[in-house]
Amino acid sequence: MGPHHPECPERLAAIADRLIASGLDAYLEHHVAPAATREQIARVHGTRYIDDVEAASPESGLAYLDPDTALNPHTLDAARHAAGAVVKAVDLAMAGTCKTAFCAVRPPGHHAERGRAMGFCIYNSIAIGARHACAAHGLERVAIVDFDVHHGNGTEDIIANDDRVLMVSIFQHPLYPYSGAVPLGTNMVNVPVPPYTRGPQVRALIEENWLAPLDAFRPEMIFISAGFDAHREDELGQLGLVEADYTWITEQVKAVAVKHARGRIVSCLEGGYNLSALARSVAAHLRVLTAA
């Protein structure tokens, strides 16, 4: 998205390097995803929006969809493959090839609304994956867990009052995009927290607000919008999580998945812009997802 933009290619390189250095890479299967189809994207985004994004894609330079969100000549292809990664992860999980998957993708997606790009996001990959699980595999109940420091306004816009989907989230408030304090639907469990909240308080809020609704919903698959910008070293937010907190959160989600969803979890990278903190946090997340 241009020089000095926090949503940079080095994010994925940092993750890959950390997984190799930590020894985790040896325990992972790597898949290259195809691009999501127009039909798959259209389960989430309107036809006019899809057409407008395609028309805005430049042959050179940058084309801005909003002040924070730009297209270069390759962005549209990357966004299609990011969504396609979540779709393929769903297919692999449903086939029994793997129980858990982590989609290391750019650009992120959870701010992309049904008809609006924003917050570095073009297509809402996690929502596309959730709708694919229902439409292509007949799942009746899927859950979305979002622990990015920013509210997943796009996902909420798309799935609010869809009784096949329960979304639970925790996010700093007030903070961009300045939404989420009032849920848009009865299937939303929004937990806004003030700046400078630390890990122990976040864990308590998750225990109090997420776990009972998730258990009662009995999801057949769990999706994670895995943003790691709530880390205390990340300058795009002011929360105080550390790697141990991401380990704990992932353990709670995994326990629900084991109980109700045959262990099926599809996690997709959202935010996380301090490269070291991002890489360490993803490694902590994956240690739990790969554990027997």
Mapped onto helix, strand or coil, the DSSP state of residue 217 is: helix
Which residue of the set 45, 111, 260, 285 is catalytic? 111
**pLDDT exceeds cutoff 90 at 1:** no
Burial label, 26 (beta-carbon count in 10 A; 0-12, 13-18, 19+): exposed
Residue 3: pLDDT band with limits 50, 70, 90: confident
Handedness of CA 55, 88, 143, 225 (dihedral sign): negative
CATH class of the structural domain 10-290? alpha beta
Contact 246, 285 (CB under 8 A): yes
Average pLDDT for the chain: 97
For 126-184, the pLDDT digits (tens) are 999 999 999 999 999 999 999 999 999 999 999 999 999 999 999 999 999 999 999 99
Give, for 265, the enclosing helix (H) or strand (E).
strand 265-269
For 224-279, the pLDDT digits (tens) are 999 999 999 999 999 999 999 999 999 999 999 999 999 999 999 999 999 999 99
Note the pTM of the prediction, 2 decimals.
0.98
Q: Report the candidate in 125, 44, 120 with the shortest Cα–Cα distance to residue 90.
A: 125
Amino acid at 180: G
Distance between start and end Cα atoms, the chain = 38
31 in catalytic set: no
